[in-house]
Amino acid sequence: MGTDSTTSSPTRDIYVDPGMMGTDLKTPPPPQDQGVDPYLDVAPPPTSVPDLSPEYISEVGIVGKLSHKNLVKLVGWCHGGRELLLVYELMPNASLDKHLHSSTNHVLPWTDRYKISLGLGSAILYLHQEWEQCVLHRDVKPSNVMLDAEFNAKLGDFGLARLVEKGRRSLTTALAGTMGYIDPECAYTGRTNTKSDVYSFGVVLLEIASGRKPGVVDAQEEYAIPLAQWVWERHDSGCFMDAIDERMRGKFDDQEAERMLIVGLSCCQLNSSLRPSIREAVSVLLFESPLPVLPVAVHMPMVGTSAATGSSGDSIATSKELDGPECM
């Protein structure tokens, strides 16, 4: 992709989607028998270009090197003129939040929900432990989980992502993420690590299972109850399955539902040392490991009602420099 054009074909369909730091262009992938899209001139990612936002450089620099079936593929980029553009493969079914919180009568089937959960876990596992460096995504949420034609999950939007050398215990970074998905321990201590992504993953699991947004608002209350707290209350009261999206009308696998809810709660524990690694969480979802034992109910910190507005909330990144993660 050249620096002053995005495509040379007038017949090529391109989907434009506003990103966190600019505009994301999504285009259909090239035919199977072609290694490169003939309509795109893909240049090496920028590493040091004046006036480009750090988020833009971070996303292009990181995602351009990654390759996994559950990550959105970056096709090209452009920073000509005043536009910052990223070109991704087209995701026909848009983002996960559109299906979980749609105003239509469409209800995402349970089989798709579980497949999406496994795909998202696989993507994070690759980022944390299977690539040559550890990648902290720092903004795992349903609006960043894209769905292909078969409803396979593909994690995208790496604008807040950071690279960490494996084995390194600290990293100077900025507090970042989306309200409702930010690790409370990270917000309080200013320290982030792979367990912060695990916390966000847990919230997304609970959101997929329950169909509810990350903050559950009681009309009589001033504050929203964190979704994890809402699910935990049902676990302790003996009506755990009541947490499953009522729109499913009982059409779900009981064992899978139990695993998704328990793994979600385990990932959302306030003490990050008690959370599973992403590999451990995925192993339970795959029925390769036994269910973790949950502690007695814990009270999650209350969140403002803005946290209940949904997974498409704006990502934030403070300018304050903080000590950061230990990469596993």
Summarised one tens digit per residue, pLDDT across range 51-92 is 667 667 767 778 888 999 999 998 887 776 666 778 888 999
What percent of the chain clears pLDDT 90, i.e. is strictly above it?
49
| Contact between 92 and 193 (Cβ < 8 Å) | no
* Tens-digit pLDDT profile for residues 119-144: 999 999 999 999 989 999 999 999 99
What does the pLDDT look like over 15-41, one tens digit per residue?
Answer: 444 444 444 545 455 444 444 343 333
37, 97, 112, 139: the active-site residue: 139
pLDDT at 327: 59
Highest mean pLDDT out of 10-24, 251-265, 313-327: 251-265
- d(CA 178, CA 57) in angstroms, rounded, equals 20
Predicted confidence (pLDDT) per residue in 312-321, tens digit: 567 766 544 3
Q: How confident is the model at residue 221 (pLDDT cuts 50, 70, 90)?
A: low
Q: Is the pTM of this model over 0.75?
A: yes
Query: In 3D, which of 73, 192, 68, 74 has the Cα closest to residue 130?
Result: 68
Q: Is residue 290 scored above 50 in pLDDT?
A: yes
Average pLDDT (181-191) is 84
Q: What is the mean pLDDT of residues 200-226?
A: 87
As a whole number, the mean pLDDT across the chain is: 78
Crossing angle for the helix pair 278-285 and 254-267, to the nearest 10 degrees: 170
User: End-to-end alpha-carbon separation of the chain, Å?
Assistant: 35
Contact at 8 Å (CB) between 86 and 60?
yes
Write down the pLDDT at residue 105.
Answer: 80
Query: Any catalytic annotation for residue 139?
Result: yes
Q: Name the residue with higher pLDDT: 260 or 21.
A: 260
Domains and CATH numbers, the chain: 15-89 (3.30.200), 96-322 (1.10.510.10)
Rg of the chain taking only CA atoms, in angstroms: 20
pLDDT at 151 over 90: yes
CB 62 within 8 A of CB 134: no
**In this structure, what token pair is assigned to residue 84?**
């910052």
